[in-house]
Structure 1
């Protein structure tokens, strides 16, 4: 369906939001790799919109660090060096560790029950034969797990900042060059979650902080190994 060139501001905002969500999902799923060009015309055709909503979406994604816009050239997936990735995950690990410490003090019991349910479902993903399905299932449920854990802080500031960093985490991991680097780590990540849950159950702030830090830092050696195989 071709977009109406005479659409109003509200419809234009809706189309831009739809383009943003679609392109962002593809980026975080690893449809493109680092340095890959993002073809505006192809996206416009696939999404059935004019060029403007796609450009609006790409500009928004560039502000978030998920897309790089090169004047007079076009847009592409940003590339982060191993040092930059390591720096990011070191910083991210500290942030998530402190957020988990806050959640340990503040969570409600019904939230913990839901967290356990999500992680039980995630555990079933580890035995999926298809690597693509396994990684997609893990990423979806992992974001649900950590999103709920952030809600357990009852802090809008922590929630907003951490959600942005989770997007960056998914981008760095899934555009690293190696296809589906998490495919063989789902079981270990599920076990990490189990230890985090145990610390939450006992309201052990110190242990919860430690487990979350180690969980996030797993990404550094994983990416180092992925790059060494390229």
Structure 2
């Protein structure tokens, strides 16, 4: 039976015929684009209206911070067919909500490789200590004091506002509603040694360290 694969014959220097089968490109064409340098105030509706001229859109997703819910300044637009991507790339540099954006092809995700990346990241997080630490202010050297009455101090007091677990829980709920503090924690506290009077007991400093180290 004849093979459906196209074969090429090539004669070597010693006169022998060598038959080769062309390799196939197994890469999957992408139907999505990555939109970077996006205005933090841009909406999914604005993205939809900007790219619908390229083809039918399947989904629009602005990536947000897991803690604050605020935009991280980039998004993905998925089309119903791959041909729309080439037209979308031509719009690189267009302004959305007053800001020029960078448009590139979003490569299809390989589920096997993605699973390995997730497993490696989880293993790294299990085996790597937190980059931000909390110590007792009188027992260790430190970078930032986070006790009262400083900016990072816990406004909730043990006794008046409940037991230790209560005031930590209340502090977490309180700071999660303050996007400016969340952002400052990431930029000012990440990788630092924080100090208060509580350690080695649990305290609000553990919440700050968690926020600071959160990617």
- Mark yes or no: TM-score above 0.5: no
**More RCO (CA 8 Å, sep 6+):** 1
Mark the structure with the bigger radius of gyration. 2
More helix by percentage: 1
TM-score w.r.t. structure 1 length? 0.29
TM-score w.r.t. structure 2 length? 0.30
